[in-house]
Amino acid sequence: MFNKESYNQTFDDRNLPVNPISKLSDEQAEKLEQVAMTLLQEEWKKLRDEKPYLFSSDKQNNQ
């Protein structure tokens, strides 16, 4: 689960400008996390389909 306070504290500790994500409501932050995870899963599946040898645990398939 996305922890907005923890995320913002990371930026505050480094004296960087607070990321605009801090302006999001909890619902918006949850939706953003869902969208990001969906995109990540789609890209992961595409990579597995295009280059299955990268994910093979059988070393002989990599040769």
Residue positions counted in the chain: 63
Q: How does residue 55 score in pLDDT terms, banded at 50, 70 and 90?
A: confident
pTM confidence score: 0.49
Non-local CB neighbours of 30 within 8 Å, separated by 6+ positions: 2
Judge whether 62 and 54 are in contact, CB under 8 Å: no
Which tens digit of pLDDT belongs to each residue from 5-54?
Answer: 666 555 555 665 666 666 788 898 899 999 999 999 999 999 999 999 98
**Domain coverage including residue 19:** 4-62
Question: Into how many domains does the chain fold?
Answer: 1
* Residue 2: predicted pLDDT: 63
